[in-house]
Amino acid sequence: MTAFDMERILAETMVRRIEYRPEIASTNDLAIELATAGADIFPSLTVTDRQTGGRGRGANQWWAADGALTFSLTIDAQANSLEPHSWPKMSLTVGLSVCETLEHLLAGRRVHLKWPNDVYLERRKVCGVLVETIAPRPGLIVIGIGINVNNTFVDAPVERCSIATSMSDVTARSFDLTDVLIRQLQQIERRIKTVVADSADLAEAWRTRCMLEGRTLSIELGPRRLTGVCHGIDDDGALIIQTEGGIERCFAGSISQIH
């Protein structure tokens, strides 16, 4: 039996349609498949108890053992007044919304945002975000989120447990997945409103949680690699790097090393 209470999700969030699968390769893939086939009720949620082939940014994979929360929310940008110029802020904004959810549920724990969209709990990765658009449905945005909730890394190989954690590993208790999901969906909705309003609080909120600020790092920008000291995140979501050649503002890229 699933841990998700569909009636509560529909009653307490902006979600208007739910596609649940006990097991699926990727909730983002299912969302894209449904939208491509002509789905027309949004926001829609694709959610599963067991995701077996989760995708991450670039060539990354997302491993989710039982007890993890993996879902995708598909929104109609126009219906949410999200102008295309604000779409590049979405990944960072969604990452921020996860930080805020975890801060609420885990009061007193350190939660940080690793640009562009990873969330770290007590210095280990607890969540990944994958925001995608759909070529045949250009007005739709798929927000895929994986949060390590009740799964554990305690018995994982050292190379994994040293970099990943879960909410239950940190607190030694378990969480109701419906409660976490509802809180997270509500926080995304709140944060989308601040993107639309172009609110100054948005940039301030991701700046104060930036885990890279002050660190020397390397970032891969396609064939180019930059190394320098991170000066935080700009109002438009760019990562600011002080390199030997001057200030660089990065809108995309992958952090390959934190020195």
Residues that bind ligand BTN (CB under 6 A): 26-28, 51, 54-57, 60, 62, 70, 72, 118, 128-130, 144-146
3-state secondary structure of 180: helix
Which C-beta is closer to ligand BTN: that of 118 or that of 169?
A: 118
Which C-beta is closer to ligand BTN: that of 26 or that of 150?
A: 26
Residue 48 · residue 28 · CB < 8 Å: no
Cα gap 99→105, rounded to integer Å: 10
User: At its nearest, how many Å lie between ligand BTN and the CB of residue 242?
Assistant: 26
Cα gap 67→39, rounded to integer Å: 29
User: Strand pairing of 17-24 and 44-51?
Assistant: parallel
User: At its nearest, how many Å lie between ligand BTN and the CB of residue 205?
Assistant: 21
Cα gap 15→20, rounded to integer Å: 13
Which C-beta is closer to ligand BTN: that of 148 or that of 200?
A: 148
User: At its nearest, how many Å lie between ligand BTN and the CB of residue 95?
Assistant: 10
Which C-beta is closer to ligand BTN: that of 77 or that of 164?
A: 164
3-state secondary structure of 171: helix
User: At its nearest, how many Å lie between ligand BTN and the CB of residue 51?
Assistant: 6
